[in-house]
């Protein structure tokens, strides 16, 4: 198992944090290596300040491995899956330009892809990954980063990691940030209504994640398609926006 980061000597760290030997299978815990040996810290034993200190100061996350890449244009592809190791073994078959794969926790890792003329489109990647995970019998969430110069990756990766953690694409994160600066009474009214409307939040999320496909959405929600149609009509009457196209993008950005 590979890990990012160079840490101080384990003896010094042990005086500051409740370190345990070996890698943890709990994805919430903090895994790391020291002199080739795996260690971990149970995240629930740390305060938020200690977690921040451990990640940002002791590990100096901004250094990572990006500065060791040959000059060129790359992107970081993030994966979350219980079967990450199985997926990692097949990534080079999907992405011709893969130069490195890193498993950071038991269920999270990244692949660094160099830009090539043979790279797949986003639609092709979605289809191929869907087939792969189905064949392997595992579920996988992924985030395709933007291609950038090797020198920009250390700055870009934390932003993309935050987007992935919040379930946002690059454009969605910009929309969400922009909406936070918009003053609009109708928009504020919709946003306030959605805050307490759990059913509406779920409906928006499911439709958005299934690209507005009502058949797939109904299946994911374990309801009949006619029931979904009634829910959509009820929502549109209540909020005055449609659950498709740009309205759906806007609504997803509000929740």
CA separation (Å) from 141 to 133, 195, 214, 242?
A: 10, 26, 21, 27
Query: Are residues 148 and 74 part of one domain?
Result: yes
Mean pLDDT of 174-196: 82
Q: What pTM was computed for the model?
A: 0.58
Say whether both 31 and 81 belong to one domain: no
Residues 206, 208, 209, 213: is their CA dihedral positive or negative? positive
List the domain range (segments joined by +) for residue 248.
Answer: 173-254
Predicted local confidence at residue 225, as pLDDT? 92
Q: Give pLDDT, residue 94.
A: 80
Which residue did the predictor score with more confidence, 237 or 26?
A: 237
Per the structure, the count of domains in the chain is: 3
Q: In this predicted model, which residue has the larger pLDDT, 88 or 62?
A: 88
Q: Which of 17-21, 44-48, 134-138, 142-146 shows the lowest per-residue confidence on average (mean pLDDT)? A: 44-48
The rounded mean pLDDT for the chain is: 82
DSSP state of 138: -
Same domain (yes/no): 76, 127: yes
Q: Which three-class secondary structure state does DSSP give residue 77? A: strand
Task: Over range 196-200, report the average pLDDT.
Answer: 94
pLDDT at 3: 39
Q: What is the mean pLDDT of residues 162-178?
A: 82
Check whether residue 75 and residue 158 sit in a common domain: yes
Q: Is residue 1 part of a domain?
A: no
Decide which of 108, 140, 166 is a domain's last residue.
Answer: 166
In this structure, are 71 and 162 located in the same domain?
yes
Q: Considering the domain boundaries, does residue 102 fall inside one?
A: yes
Asked whether the predicted pLDDT for residue 190 surpasses 50, the reply is yes
Lowest-confidence region among 10-19, 145-154, 155-164: 10-19
Q: Are residues 184 and 98 in the same domain?
A: no
Percent of the chain scored above 70 by pLDDT?
85
Does a structural domain hold residue 221?
yes
Residues 194 and 139 in one domain: no
**Same-domain check for residues 48 and 74:** no
Mark whether 70 and 51 lie in a shared domain: no
How many CA atoms, within 13 angstroms, populate the side-chain half-sphere of residue 177?
11
Same domain, yes or no: 151 and 95: yes
pLDDT at 117: 83
In a domain, 4, yes or no: no
Q: Is 5 within a domain?
A: no
Q: How confident is the model at residue 52 (pLDDT cuts 50, 70, 90)?
A: low
For the residues 50-72, what does the mean pLDDT come to?
A: 63
Q: pLDDT confidence of 62, banded at 50, 70, 90?
A: very low
pLDDT at 123: 78
Asked if 178 and 159 sit in the same domain, the reply is: no
Please give the share of the chain, as a percent, with pLDDT higher than 90.
Answer: 26
pLDDT band of residue 2 (cuts 50, 70, 90) is: very low
Q: Are residues 76 and 123 in the same domain?
A: yes
| CA 59 from centre of chain | 21
Sign of CA dihedral 12, 21, 28, 77: positive
- pLDDT tens for each residue of 71-119: 999 999 999 998 888 888 888 778 888 888 888 888 888 999 998 888 8
């Amino acid at each position: 198992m590979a890990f990012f980061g160079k840490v101080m000597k384990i003896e010094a760290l042990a005086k500051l944090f409740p370190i345990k030997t070996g890698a943890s299978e709990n994805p919430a815990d903090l895994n790391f290596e020291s002199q080739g040996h795996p260690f971990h810290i149970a995240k629930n034993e740390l305060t938020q300040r200690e977690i921040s200190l451990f990640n940002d100061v002791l590990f100096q996350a901004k250094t990572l491995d990006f500065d060791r890449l040959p000059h060129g244009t790359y992107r970081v592809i993030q994966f979350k899956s219980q079967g990450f190791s199985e997926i990692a073994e097949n990534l080079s078959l999907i992405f011709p330009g893969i130069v490195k794969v890193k498993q950071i926790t038991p269920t999270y890792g990244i692949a660094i892809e160099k830009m090539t003329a043979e790279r797949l489109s986003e639609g092709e990647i979605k289809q191929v990954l869907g087939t792969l995970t189905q064949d392997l019998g595992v579920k996988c969430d992924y985030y395709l980063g933007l291609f950038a110069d090797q020198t920009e990756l250390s700055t870009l990766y934390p932003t993309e990691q935050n987007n992935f953690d919040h379930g946002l694409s690059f454009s969605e994160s910009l929309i969400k940030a922009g909406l936070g600066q918009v003053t609009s009474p109708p928009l504020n009214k919709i946003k306030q209504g959605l805050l307490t409307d759990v059913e509406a939040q779920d409906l928006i999320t499911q439709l958005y994640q299934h690209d507005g496909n009502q058949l797939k959405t109904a299946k994911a929600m374990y309801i009949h398609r006619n029931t979904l149609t009634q829910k959509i009509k009820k929502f549109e009457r209540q909020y005055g926006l449609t659950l498709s196209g740009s309205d759906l993008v806007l609504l997803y950005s509000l929740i």
